[in-house]
Structure 1
Amino acid sequence: MTRPLTPANKTQGRINWTWQDALLILAIVSLIVAIVRTASQFRGAFNPEFTISTDISALPGYTALTLLRMGLAYFFSLGFTLIYAYSAYRSRMAERILIPLLDILQSIPVLSFLPGVVLALLSLFPGRRIGVEIASVLLIFTGMTWNMTFSFYQSLCSIPQELLEASRVYRLNLWQRFWTLELPSGVIGLVWNSVMSVAGGWFFLIAIESFTLGNKDFRLPGLGSFLGTAANKGDFKAILWGSAVLIAVIVAIDYFVWRPLIAWAEKFKLEMVESENVPESWVLDVLRRSPSLRILSDRIFHPLQRVLDDSLVRSFPVRSAPVNAKGDLHLPGLLNWVFVSGFTLIVLWGTWEALLLLRTLGWADWQQVIKGAVFTALRVIVALLLSLLWTVPVGVAIGRNPRLARVLQPLVQIAASYPATALFPVLLLALSRMAGGLEIGSVALMMLGTMWYILFNVIAGAQSIPSDLMEAAWVYKLTLVQRWRILILPAIFPYLITGIITAVGGAWNASIVSEYVTFQGQVRTAEGLGATISHATATGNFSLLLAATTVMSLLVVTTNRLVWRPLYKLAQDKYQLLI
C-alpha cells in the first residue's frame, strides 16, 4: 500500500541521491533524444512506392515512429477534450452547438476522414512525408478524442451541487473554480478514458499507417503497417514478433504511465472515509521521493505555478464567476453572433457541396447503402448487448478491487489495444468454418472495437464510488442484489451511459474493418454499411463514400438523440452524487 509522505519518510534537508534518480535522469534524457531523432524522419520525402519490411530488424525503428504518432495524437486529444468539453459546460449557447456536433463527429468512421485529410495535406506539403505523417496523427486523434470529451463533459455536469455552492460562497473566480473543482472532478474519468483512447488508437493503427485510396497506396513505416503487411502476406512469424513487441509496449506503458496515473488520481475521489485498498505504483513512489524532482518542483515548477495562478486570478475577477448551478458563461452579443453565423455558413457550404456530389448516385447505389445500414445496425445491437453482459460485472470487479485490477488491468489493456486486423488471418480461418462465415463472425470482430469503451467507463465509475458508501452498505447488511440495485448501478449509471454512447459509435466505426477484410490478396466482405465505406474508399468512389458516411452519421446521431441522450439526462438529474 502506498504510504503518505510524512516527515519520517519524506526526503528533506540534505539531498540523498539514489540510483533511482540517476536512472530517472538517464531515462528522461534518452526519451528526449529518441523523440528528436524519430521526429527528424518526418521531414523526409514521401515515396509512394515505399515497401514495408517484415524483417525483425526493422521493428525497433517502426515502433519508435508509431509511439511518436500515438503520443502526439494523445496530447492533441487531451487539449481538445479540456477546451471542447469545458466550453460546452460553461456556455449554454456553445452547448447547443458543440454537443450535437460531437455526436456527428464521433459517428464519422476513420476511413471517411482519409480522402479529404490526406489529399488536403498532400497539397499543402507536395512530395513531403510530413503531410502524410500529419494526416496519420489527425486520424489517430479522431479515434482517441471523442470518448475522452464525453467523459470530461459528463464529469463536469455531475459535480455535486454542494461543491458548486461552496465555490460561490468562497467567491472562486473562473480559473480558481476550474483548477480546484472542475478539473479534479474529471480526473478519474479522464485517466481511464485515456487508457481506452490509446487502446482505440492501437485498434485502427493498421488502417491508418497502411491504406489504399483509389489507385494509390499510402504507406508509413510503423508497427501497424508492419503487422498489416505481415497479416496480408500470411507471414505468421512476423505477426508473432510484431505482436510480441506490441504487447511489450502496452505492458511498459501500463507500468510506467497508466498505473502511476491511476494511483495518483485516487486522491481526487470524493469520500469521507479513506479506502483500505488503494491502487499502488512503484513508479509513482519513486517519483514522489525523488530528490531531483523535488528540487525541480521547489525551484522551478512551484514558482512558475504561483506566477501563472496570480496572473490568471487577476485576469478573471470574481464577478466573472457564474451565478447559476450550470456555470453559464455569457459571451458578448457580437461574439455570439459571429460564432453562430460562422458555424451556419460552414454548414450551408458543406451541405451544398455534399448535394452536388450526391447527385451522381443512382437508385441502385442508395439501395445498397440502405440495405447495408440495416444489416450493420443489427450487428451493432447484437454486439452491444453481448458486450454489456460481461463488461458491467467485470468492470465493477476491477474498479472495486485494486488487487484484482493489478492483475487484470494489463491484460485488459493488451486485449483492448491489440489491432484486431492483425488477428484476422487466424480469425478468418475459424470463421470460414462457421455457418454464416463473416456475416455472423463480423459481430465478434465488431465487439473488439466496442466493448472496451463500456468496460473502461464502468471501471472508472466503480472506482469513483466513495468508500464510505460501500462501508454503509456492509453496515446495513445489504445483500448482493440490494448493493447492485441501490448503490452500484446508480453510481456507475452516468459512466455506463457515457460508455454506451461511445461504444455505439465505436461499433459503427469498427464495421469498416469487420465487414471488409483483405487477406492474402483476396477481399472478403459481409454485406453492410462498413463494407460499403471500405470498398468506396479503396476504389475512390467519393460519392458512394459520402452517402454511406452520411447515412451512418444520421443513424448514430438519431440513436443518441432519441435513446442515449434522454438516459444521459436522467443520469445527470437523478443519479448525481450528493454529499
Structure 2
Amino acid sequence: MTSMFTSAVSRPGPGGGNQPRLRVRILSDLVVAAGVLAVFGFVAYLLPGVDAPIGPQGIPSHVTTDVWDLPYYAMRSVFRMFIALFFSLAFTFLYGLAAARSRLMGKVLVPLLDILQSVPILGFLSATITIWLVIFPHSMLGVEAASIFAIFTSQAWNMAFSFYRSLLSEPKELDEAARSLRLTRWQRFWKLDVPSSMTPLLWNCMMSVGGGWFFLTASEMISVNNKTYALPGLGSFVAQASSNEELGKVGLAIVTMVIVVLLIDFLLWKPLTAWAEKFRITQSESAEPKKSLVLTVIRQSHLDDLLGRAFSPLGELLDRAGRVFGRTGARWESTGTRRKLGDWIFDIVLGILLVLGLAELVLSIKRSVGFAEMGQVFGLGGLTFLRVALLTAVCSIVWVPIGALIGMNPKVSRFMQPIVQVLASFPANFIFPFVTLWFVAWGIDINWGSILLMALGTQWYILFNVIAGASAIPDDLREMGSSFQLTGWLKWKRLILPAVFGSWCTGGITAAGGAWNASIVAEIVSYGRTELVGKGLGAYITQVTERGDGPRIILGVAIMSFFVVVANRVFWAPLQNLANRRYSLN
C-alpha cells in the first residue's frame, strides 16, 4: 500500500501533477484526523471507569470472566501501560541526565538504579498501596494509580540504563560541535542527547511495554497484606480464569493480547523505528531504509506543519528558559578526572551514611526475624542467583547472534519485528496454568522449570538491546568491512561483536535485574488447587507479601538488592567501562 501512495504522488493526472498530490494529501489528512479523534475517543471512553467511585462493598477482589468483556479489559490494560510508559520516559530523561552529567550525583544514582531494578513489584506494591488509597480515597483511582505505579517499576529501569549509557558514549566530535555552536543545555538535550540515544531508547521502550505485559497479572490482581484488589484488565481476567480452571477463556485472553500487540506494532512501533532511522550516525544513506505505511500517511498529511506551528511558541519559551542555565561549554562534569576537596568530603559523608544505614538495617532484621532466618534467606538468594546467572549466560549465547542478524538486515527486521514484538510482549505468566499442568504431567521439578519461566520474561532485554546496537552500526563501517572482505568469524570478531558489545552490556544488566524480579512469579506457579513452589528468594518474597509480613518483606527485598548490586559492581560495571573505553564511537 505504501507503493500505491508513492505512485499516486508521482503519477500526473489530467489536471497536472499537483492535483493527484493534493488528493493524496487530503486523504492523508482525513486518515490522520480520524486517528487522532479515535485516540481522544478511546481516552474519553475509559476515563469514567478509571475514576469510578468505590461501591458499598468496597474494592472488588475479583473480576468477571465473561469473554465479551475482553475488548474493554484489553483497552484498560493498554491505557495503564502507556500512562506508565509516559512517566517512565520522563523519569528516564531526568534520571539519566542527572546520573551522566554530574559526577557526584552519578555516584549515588547509578548504584541506586541497581537497587531499584532489583526490588520486585510486590515490594513496591506492599509499600505504596496504602499511600495511593489515602491519596485517592473513595475512588478506584487509588487502585489504578497503584497498578500504574507497579507497571512503571517494571518499565523504567532498563530505559534509564539505556539513556544513561547513550549519554556516556556520545561521539566526541558531536560534543565538540555542540560546544562550538554554544548550544544551551536545553538545545543540546534535543539536538544531541535525545537524537543520539533514539535507537536504543526506542527499542528499550518496546521492551518496557513487553515487561509491563509480563507483570500485568501482578499489577491488576494485587494481593498484598492479606487483601486482594482487582482491576478490569487482561491480567486480572487471566488470573481469575486460571483460578476458576477455565483454560478456554485463558486461551481467548491470549489471542486478544496477541491481536493488541500486533496492532500496537503496526500503529506505533513500526512508524517510530522507521522515523528513528534519520538519527543513525552515518555518512551514507541506508541502502534499504525501513518503511511504514502509517509513517508515510503522516508525512503526506499536514500534521507536521500543524504540530510545528502549535509547538513553536512553546519551544521558543523553553529555549529562553534554558539559557538561564548557561551554555553547554565542556562536556559537563562527567569527564572530570581531578578529585577536589568537595569530592573527598562527599565520598566520606556518603560512606558514613551508607554504613549507618546498613547497620540500622541489620539491627532491625536482628530484632524482628533474627540472624538465623537471615542466613536461610541468603541461602535462598544464592539459589535464585544461580538461576539468574545460568539463564543470562544461555540467553546471551542464543540471542546475541540472532539480534545482530536482525538489526543489520532491514529485510529481516521488517519481517521479524512484529514476531519479536509478540514474543517479547507475550506475558509468559498467561501460560503458567498450562505450564503447571505440563510440569505435573511430566514430573518436571519447579526448581529447574522456574529457570525456563524466568527466561520467558527476561531474555528479550538482551535481544532488543542487541538489535538496537546492530541497527545503529554506521553504514560506513559495514561498507569498510565489505571492502576488507571480512567474512565469517573474522567479521563477527572485528566488526559485529565490538559494535554490539555495549548494547549487550545494557541488555545483560537489565535482563539480570528483570530475572530477579521475574522470580517472584516464576518460583511459584499454580492452576486451580495445584500449586508448585520452588526454593528461592522470589518464592519467599511472594509468600511473605501475601501474608503481609512487613519485616520479612524488608529482609527479602534487602537481600535481593544486595545480590543485584554486588553482581552489577563486580561483573557488569567493569564490562560497561570496557565498552565505553574501547567499543564506543568516540
Distance 1:347 1:120 in 2: 29
- How far is the alpha carbon of 1:232 from its aligned partner? 2.3
1:301 matched to 2:329: no
- Aligned partner of 2:423: which letter? A
Q: Does 1:79 align with 2:90?
A: yes
Deviates more, 1:343-352 or 1:184-193: 343-352
Answering whether residue 280 of structure 2 is matched by residue 269 of structure 1, we say: yes
- The aligned residue for residue 514 of structure 2 is 506
Task: Out of 157-166 and 254-263, give the one that drifted further.
Answer: 157-166
Cα pair 1:458 1:499 within 8 Å, conserved: yes
The CA deviation at 1:371 is 2.2
Between stretches 543-552 and 117-126, larger displacement belongs to: 117-126
Of 225, 229, 238, the match for 1:227: 238
Cα displacement (A) at 1:229: 1.3
1:414 is aligned, of 405, 410, 422, to 422
TM-score by length of 2: 0.90
What is residue 476 of structure 1 aligned with on the other side?
A: 484
- Summarize the Cα distance change of 1:196–1:344 in structure 2 as closer, same or farther, 3 Å threshold: farther
- Report the counterpart of residue 159 of structure 1 in structure 2: 170
- Partner-residue secondary structure (3-state), 1:211: strand
2:291 is matched with which residue? 280
Deviations 1:524-546 (A, max 9, x none): 20111111011111111221111
Give per-residue Cα distances to partners, 1:249-270, cap 9 Å, x unaligned.
1001101100111011111111
User: Would you say 1:187 and 2:178 are equivalent positions?
Assistant: no
> In the alignment, which residue of structure 1 is the partner of 2:580?
572
Q: 1:307 Cα shift?
A: 4.6
Instruction: Give the distance between the partners of 2:351 and 2:518, measured in 1 at CA.
Output: 30
Q: Is the 8 A contact 1:174 1:321 kept in 2?
A: no
Matches of 1:183 and 1:12 in 2, distance apart? 37
Task: Indicate if the aligned counterparts of 2:155 and 2:208 stay in contact, CA closer than 8 A.
Answer: yes
User: 1:464 pairs with 472, 475, 483, which one?
Assistant: 472
- Tell me if structure 1 keeps the 8 A contact 2:101–2:333: no
Alignment of 1:203-352 (within 5 A): 203-291=214-302, 293-309=303-319, 311-312=320-321, 314-318=323-327, 321-322=329-330, 326=334, 352=360
1:196 to 193, 207, 220: 207
Superposition TM-score, scaled by structure 1 size: 0.92
Find the aligned partners of 1:376 and 1:274 in 2 and give their Cα distance.
46
In structure 1, what residue type is equivalent to 2:277? E
In structure 2, relative to structure 1, the CA distance for the partners of 1:29 and 1:448 (3 Å cut) is same
Separation in structure 1 between the aligned mates of residue 307 and residue 179 of structure 2, nearest angstrom: 31
2:14 aligned partner: none
2:502 equivalent in structure 1? 494
Cross-structure match for 1:366: 374
With over 3 angstroms needed to count, the CA separation of the structure-2 counterparts of 1:325 and 1:170, relative to structure 1, is farther
> Does the CA-based 8 Å contact 2:126-2:225 persist in structure 1?
no
The aligned runs of 1:37-186 (5 Å cut-off) are 37-46=45-54, 47-186=58-197
Q: Is the 8 A contact 2:62 2:229 kept in 1?
A: no
Q: Give the secondary-structure state (helix, strand or coil) at the position aligned to 1:234.
A: coil
Shift in Å, 1:295 = 4.2
Q: How does 1:399-438 map onto structure 2 within 5 Å?
A: 399-434=407-442, 436-438=444-446
After superposition, the C-alpha distances for 1:166-216 in whole angstroms (9 at most, x for unaligned) are 222222222222221111110001100000000000000001111322321
Paired amino acid for 1:283: V
Amino acid at match of 2:224: L
Compute the displacement of 1:9 (Å).
6.2
Shift of 1:400: 0.9
Q: Deviations over 1:389-435 (max 9, x none)?
A: 21101101110111111221111111111211110121122222445
Q: Which runs of 5+ in 2 are unaligned?
A: 12-16
Secondary structure at the counterpart of residue 359 of structure 1: helix
SS at match of 1:517: strand
* Deviation by residue 1:373-396 (Cα, 9 ceiling, x = unmatched): 121111111111221121101101
Give the Cα–Cα distance (whole angstroms) in 2 for the partners of residues 450 and 125 of structure 1: 33
Match of 2:394 in 1: 386
Match of 1:31 among 39, 42, 55: 39
Question: Aligned in 2, Cα 1:112/1:89: closer, same or farther, shift over 3 Å?
Answer: same
**How far did 1:120 drift?**
1.8
2:548 maps to 540
Farther-moved stretch of structure 1 (78-87 vs 336-345): 336-345
For residues 156 and 446 of structure 1, what CA distance do their matches in structure 2 show?
30
User: Equivalents in 2 of 1:349, 1:122: separation in Å?
Assistant: 29
Decide whether the 8 Å contact of 2:151 with 2:216 is kept in 1.
Answer: yes
Letter paired with 2:575: L
State whether residues 365 and 544 of structure 1, in contact with CA within 8 Å, keep that contact through their aligned partners in structure 2.
no
Q: Distance in 2 between matches of 1:563 and 1:115?
A: 31
Do 1:358 and 1:547's aligned partners in 2 also have CA atoms closer than 8 Å?
no
Say which SS state the counterpart of residue 452 (structure 2) adopts. Answer: helix
**Range moving further from structure 2, 91-100 or 232-241:** 232-241
